[in-house]
Amino acid sequence: MNNSAVPEQISVVLVDDHGIFRSGLKADLDEGIEVVGEAGTVEQAIERITELRPDVVLLDVHLPGGRGGGGAEVLRGCSQLLNTTRFLALSVSDAAQDVVTVIRSGARGYVTKSISGPEISTAVRRVASGDAVFSPRLAGFVLDAFGSGAVQQVDEELDLLSDRELQVMRLIARGYSYKEVAKELFISVKTVESHVSNVLRKLQLSNRHELTRWAVDRRIL
Amino acid sequence: MRSETRLVAGVCGGVADHLGLAVGYIRLAFLFLTALGGIGIILYAWLWVFTPSAQESQADELRSAGTRRRSLAEELGLGNAASINAREVAEKLGSMREILIGAVLMILAVLALGQWLGWNIRWDLIWPGIGIVAGVLLAWLQIDGKQPANGSRQQRFAALIRLGVGLLLVIGGLLALISGTVATTDLIGGIWAALAIFAGAVVVLLPWGTRLWRDFLAERTSRQAAAQRAEFAAHLHDSVLQTLAVIQKRATDPAAVRALARSQERELRQWLYGDGQTGQDDVVAAIAAEAAQIEALMLREVDVVSVGSARGFAGQQALVQASREAMMNAAKHATGLISVFIECHAQSVEVFIRDRGTGFDAEQIPVDRLGVRESIIGRMQRAGGSARIRSGEEGTEVQLRMPHGTEGEEKP
């Protein structure tokens, strides 16, 4: 995760099939964030993103078009851009299936559509600088998937969350902001960010038995 | 249309309904016509083929009604009218059918007696006639019966056999009738000619037939889609449109609008994605239900995140009530989002309720204020759990912990 400096002006493409929601979201974003393009379907989104190469894509999980894969299909279609363009998933469904699918396809974070204006701008900035954005609910899914019990020792790095990562996830699930988590654990915000990024990487790459079983139980994979 | 309460195909009942006469008279009339050289039977068959059964015409009506929603009265009337009648009459009809068969046998016996007495009975006409009527009955009765489109293989096999036997009886009867007047060699030649004509007709009409069949299938699937759309439309009308109307009326009250939108969202989400797997006795479901209630009551946002599930442990009731009290306090005294996090471990269940208020000092709660001291801390301790309250400038967090008993714990 190359933590490149946050650009002055962040270019954003909005991908959502509801015009009303797109215009509302555009009004919510602050001046530092410029909406350079919008798309309403899977094909449109892939085309616009490849053409415009924005810093951040705000991606709805449910999209018409394509082969019915929604946001995850857009991510697969843009897989060669994942190093330069960051994807932040927006969802109204909150279903574990939708969220985990887009995260595992490469999205850098997930927030619910009811998120407030300042919060979404912060989230866009954070994603643009290469960090991960976790909502309380996503943290809950992670804890559920990796098991919230204490870990004795980290033998397979990808498959287990460290004690510290578990603590961070638990605090985020309790509704703490990154700053509050940092204060609570007596660490810097940067450290919190790196813990969260690590968790995201593990969630994306892990083939852990428990994760698979968890997913199968919920009919995700 | 044909009547639902029937001996054979409900034709007499249908005619009786139509003319406003008693069924018995119509049946007698048909029997009389039958005695006049069999016209009754032909008329009966003709009516059978060309008038729809009660069920079919009901289905037709439903289809043409389309997406229009039925009133409750109509809805009630639909199912009941047929089923009550059917059940009452079914037993009576069963015995009537036996009597009918008995009557036919009686007539045959009388005819046999007549032959013995020296009447000239044309048995070579009667037997094929009976065979044809029996075959037609056998084949046609199935069409009227309940048609399970996806019935078991056994059922379909039985239906095929009945159809085949019916066909054999009819063809055999017809051949027997003809063989009285035509020589056997001519008959065999005729059969070959008939087969050739039949084959030619099949070749010409086959593509047409398959297209009709495909059209029929397409229409059926579109009908199912329409039914589903109608269900969606009905639901959206009942819930979402009503809520939108209320929201427009209360547009000046942001808190109310927010709460309405939120509760509608919750309901719609439940309807769309609701899995119904977690029972209400689950601690997570119980606390989520309390949160929903507080949301509706206090017009506040409560965000519930949970890990794992647990049910049926000793202090569950106390834990849920203490959670409710803590959420209530947060809704009353603090502003902003209320975050609830429920974590079910193997040994205990923890609940965190956090608000973004200005906070208060837990030590300085007046003794007479029962809210926090009694309803949260006291309640948890009495049930064997513990409660901690942390309060600061960034809000207050109530931490509840209830150890699991050994009984009935469950963690997925």
Residues ≥6 apart with Cβ < 8 Å to B96:
B7
CB A74 within 8 A of CB A42: yes
Is A148's CB within 8 Å of B307's CB? yes
CB B94 within 8 A of CB B43: no
Pick A136's closest partner by Cβ from B341, B343, B397.
B341
**In the structure, what pLDDT confidence band is assigned to residue A155 with cuts at 50, 70 and 90?**
very low
Beta A109-112 vs B395-403: how paired, if at all?
A: unpaired
Pick B273's closest partner by Cβ from A95, A137, A180.
A95
Q: What angle do CA B318, B323, B326 make, to 5 degrees?
A: 125
pLDDT in tens, B278-331: 556 788 888 888 888 888 777 777 888 888 777 777 788 888 888 888 888 888
Distance of alpha carbon A38 from alpha carbon A47, whole angstroms? 11
Is A139's CB within 8 Å of B343's CB? no
Residue B400: name the closest of B331, B381, B408, A184 by CA. Answer: B381
AA identity, residue A163: D
**What is the pLDDT averaged over residues A4-33?**
81
Is A93's CB within 8 Å of B394's CB? no
Which residue in A has a C-alpha nearest to residue B346's C-alpha? A149
Tally of CB atoms within 10 A around B12? 25
Question: Which tops the pLDDT comparison, B21 or A167?
Answer: A167
pLDDT higher than threshold 60 for residue B80: no
Contacts of B354 in chain A (CB under 8 A): 174-176
Is A149's CB within 8 Å of B345's CB? yes
- Average pLDDT value for chain A: 79
Residue B48: name the closest of B158, B131, B130, B136 by CA. Answer: B136
Question: Which tops the pLDDT comparison, B222 or A220?
Answer: B222
Pick A144's closest partner by Cβ from B308, B352, B394.
B308
Distance of alpha carbon B60 from alpha carbon B119, whole angstroms? 52
Chain A residues whose C-beta is within 8 A of a chain B C-beta are 93-95, 136-137, 139-140, 143-144, 148-149, 170, 173-176, 180, 217
Which of the listed ranges A72-76, A213-217, B227-231, B318-322 does the model predict with the highest average pLDDT?
B318-322
CB B276 within 8 A of CB B298: no
Per the rule left: phi > 0, alpha: psi between -120 and 50, beta: everything else, B60 is alpha
Query: Residue holding tokens 């064997």?
Result: B384
Is A144's CB within 8 Å of B341's CB? no
In this prediction, residue B81 carries a pLDDT of 47
In this prediction, residue A120 carries a pLDDT of 87
Q: Helix H segments across B180-315? A: 184-236, 242-249, 254-273, 283-298
Which residue in B has a C-alpha nearest to residue A138's C-alpha? B305
Distance of alpha carbon B130 from alpha carbon B113, whole angstroms? 18
- The alpha carbon of residue B306 is apart from the nearest alpha carbon of chain A, in Å, by 6
Q: What letter would DSSP give residue B406?
A: S
Could you tell me the domains of chain B? 11-224 (no CATH), 276-403 (3.30.565.10)
In this prediction, residue B412 carries a pLDDT of 38
pLDDT higher than threshold 70 for residue B336: yes
SS3 content of chain A, % helix, strand, coil (to 5): 50, 15, 35
Contacts of A136 in chain B (CB under 8 A): 303, 305, 339, 341
- Express as a percent the part of chain B with pLDDT over 70: 77
In this prediction, residue B250 carries a pLDDT of 83
Which residue in A has a C-alpha nearest to residue B261's C-alpha? A114
Q: What letter would DSSP give residue A151?
A: P
Question: Which tops the pLDDT comparison, B270 or A74?
Answer: A74
Distance of alpha carbon A171 from alpha carbon A203, whole angstroms? 18
- Average pLDDT value for chain B: 76
In this prediction, residue B264 carries a pLDDT of 83
Record the tokens describing residue A127, joined without a space. Answer: 């994603």
Identify from B262, B269, B341, B350 which residue to disrupt to test chain A contact, counting A C-beta atoms within 10 A and taking the largest count: B341
Record the tokens describing residue A216, joined without a space. Answer: 């199968």
Q: Give ipTM to 2 decimals.
A: 0.76
pLDDT higher than threshold 70 for residue B269: yes
In this prediction, residue A1 carries a pLDDT of 41
**What is the pLDDT averaged over residues B266-276?**
70
Pick B306's closest partner by Cβ from A93, A140, A149.
A140
Q: How many helices (H) and strands (E) does chain A have?
A: 10, 5
Distance of alpha carbon B12 from alpha carbon A217, whole angstroms? 59
Which residue in B has a C-alpha nearest to residue A93's C-alpha? B269
Could you tell me the domains of chain A? 10-133 (3.40.50.2300), 138-217 (1.10.10.10)
β-strand partners of B387: B400
Contacts of B305 in chain A (CB under 8 A): 136-137, 139-140, 173
Contacts of B352 in chain A (CB under 8 A): 174-175
Distance of alpha carbon A90 from alpha carbon A111, whole angstroms? 5
AA identity, residue B229: R
Contacts of A180 in chain B (CB under 8 A): 394
- The alpha carbon of residue B397 is apart from the nearest alpha carbon of chain A, in Å, by 9
CB B277 within 8 A of CB B369: no
**What is the pLDDT averaged over residues A159-171?**
81
Contacts of B273 in chain A (CB under 8 A): 93, 95
AA identity, residue B113: L
Distance of alpha carbon A107 from alpha carbon A104, whole angstroms? 7
| Cα A66 → chain centroid | 22
Contacts of A212 in chain B (CB under 8 A): none
Which of the listed ranges B66-70, B132-136, B208-212 does the model predict with the highest average pLDDT?
B208-212
**What is the pLDDT averaged over residues B325-353?**
85
pTM above 0.80, yes or no: no
Is B354's CB within 8 Å of A174's CB? yes
Tally of CB atoms within 10 A around B324? 20
Is B341's CB within 8 Å of A148's CB? no
Question: Which tops the pLDDT comparison, B367 or A70?
Answer: A70
AA identity, residue B135: G
Is A143's CB within 8 Å of B307's CB? yes
Q: If you count residue pairs, one on A and one on B, with CB atoms under 8 Å apart, how many are there?
A: 45
How far is it between the farthest Cα atoms of chain A? 50
**What is the pLDDT averaged over residues A114-137?**
84
**What is the pLDDT averaged over residues A34-46?**
87
Is B341's CB within 8 Å of A180's CB? no
Which residue in A has a C-alpha nearest to residue B399's C-alpha? A174
| A91-120 as b/e: b if 16+ CB within 10 A | bbbbbbebbbbbbbbbbbbbbbbebeeeeb
Q: What letter would DSSP give residue B253?
A: -
What DSSP line would sit under B279-339, residue for residue? -TTBHHHHHHHHHHHHHHHHT--EEEEEES--BS-TTHHHHHHHHHHHHHHHHHH--S-EE
Which residue in B has a C-alpha nearest to residue A136's C-alpha? B305
**What is the pLDDT averaged over residues A182-201?**
88
Residue A96: name the closest of A58, A137, A68 by CA. Answer: A137
pLDDT higher than threshold 70 for residue B355: yes
pLDDT in tens, B13-36: 788 877 877 778 888 888 788 777
Q: Is A134 helix (H, G, I), strand (E, B) or coil?
A: coil
β-strand partners of B303: B339
Is A140's CB within 8 Å of B305's CB? yes
Record the tokens describing residue B46, joined without a space. Answer: 């003709």
Contacts of A93 in chain B (CB under 8 A): 269, 273
pLDDT higher than threshold 80 for residue B407: no
CA dihedral A149, A152, A153, A158 (to 10 degrees): -10
